[in-house]
Amino acid sequence: MNALYLVAIGSVPEQAMDWIDSAASEWYPLPIRRLPALSTPEGAYDPKRQQYQSVEIMKTVAQAAPRDAHRVLGVTNVDLAIPMLSFLFGQAQLDGRVAVVSLCRLRQEFYGLPADNRVLRERTVKEVLHELGHTFGLVHCREPRCVMSLATHIGLVDSKEQKYCERCGMQLVERFSSLEAEV
Ligand SMILES: [Zn+2]
Ligand SMILES: [Zn+2]
């Protein structure tokens, strides 16, 4: 069966990769494999904004996807942006193969607070489930506690739960059953 691949872009703590691995395996009925870390593409850096262009990171992740990749999720520590938005927690192809998540703004240190691994883990799990949900065709949900709700700032990430609401969860299950019919 085709796999969900995880890949670090640049240096990402192994522990964060482990959190992501276990969250993804809890929700997604796919084998999860890890690729060797990739370096951050230099061309992605925007010196004016001191951020990285998410589109370039997405391309790097897409290129690294093995042939049997059902989905590939990139994880980075750098701050991501796109021209129209001042920052992104992550990005995904809707109903596509590729997604990225940035840990940068999930860290308490980004907001001048002491590091907190528990908070970082919760936020990471939420963002991963959110972006993977998009790759399986889920759109933004109006239920603020659902992991698929749109979070434009960290407070909204914190008010989500680490799970899909019933409706989004049902949609995922339907997608999975059609997947199983394909393979
Ligand atoms: Zn979204
Ligand atoms: Zn929902």
d(CA 51, CA 134) in angstroms, rounded, equals 23
Residue 179: pLDDT band with limits 50, 70, 90: confident
pLDDT at 90: 97
Residue 178: pLDDT band with limits 50, 70, 90: confident
Alpha helices in the chain, H assignment, sequence order = 14-27, 54-64, 117-135, 154-158, 166-182
pLDDT at 15: 97
- 183, pLDDT greater than 60: no
> Stretch 28-51: mean pLDDT, rounded?
95
> Stretch 110-114: mean pLDDT, rounded?
98
> Stretch 47-61: mean pLDDT, rounded?
96
Alpha helices in 12-116, H assignment, sequence order = 14-27, 54-64
Instruction: Sort strands 80-82 and 90-92 into parallel, antiparallel or unpaired.
Output: unpaired
Residue-range domains of the chain with CATH: 3-182 (3.40.390.10)
d(CA 111, CA 89) in angstroms, rounded, equals 14
Q: What percent of the chain has pLDDT over 90?
A: 93
Ligand 1 centroid from CA 79, angstroms = 17
pLDDT at 94: 96
Q: Which ligand is nearest to the CA of 152?
A: 1
Report the amino acid identity of residue 100.
V
Exposure class string for 78-89: b at 16+ Cβ within 10 A, else e? bbbbeeeeebbb
Is 182 catalytic? The answer is no
pLDDT at 109: 97
Cα 95 to the center of its chain, rounded Å: 14
Ligand 1 centroid from CA 148, angstroms = 7
Say which of 122, 131, 161, 166 is annotated catalytic: 131
Q: What's the whole-model pTM score?
A: 0.95
Q: 14-27 and 117-135 helices cross at what angle (nearest 10)?
A: 50
Of 134 and 29, the structure prediction assigns the larger pLDDT to 134
Q: Which ligand is nearest to the CA of 160?
A: 2
> Stretch 138-159: mean pLDDT, rounded?
97
pLDDT at 181: 65
d(CA 156, CA 24) in angstroms, rounded, equals 21
- 96, pLDDT greater than 70: yes
Report the amino acid identity of residue 109.
E
Taking alpha carbons only, the member of 27, 29, 5, 28 closest to residue 17 is 5
Q: Which ligand is nearest to the CA of 147?
A: 2
User: Which residues touch 15 (CB under 8 Å, ≥6 apart)?
Assistant: 117
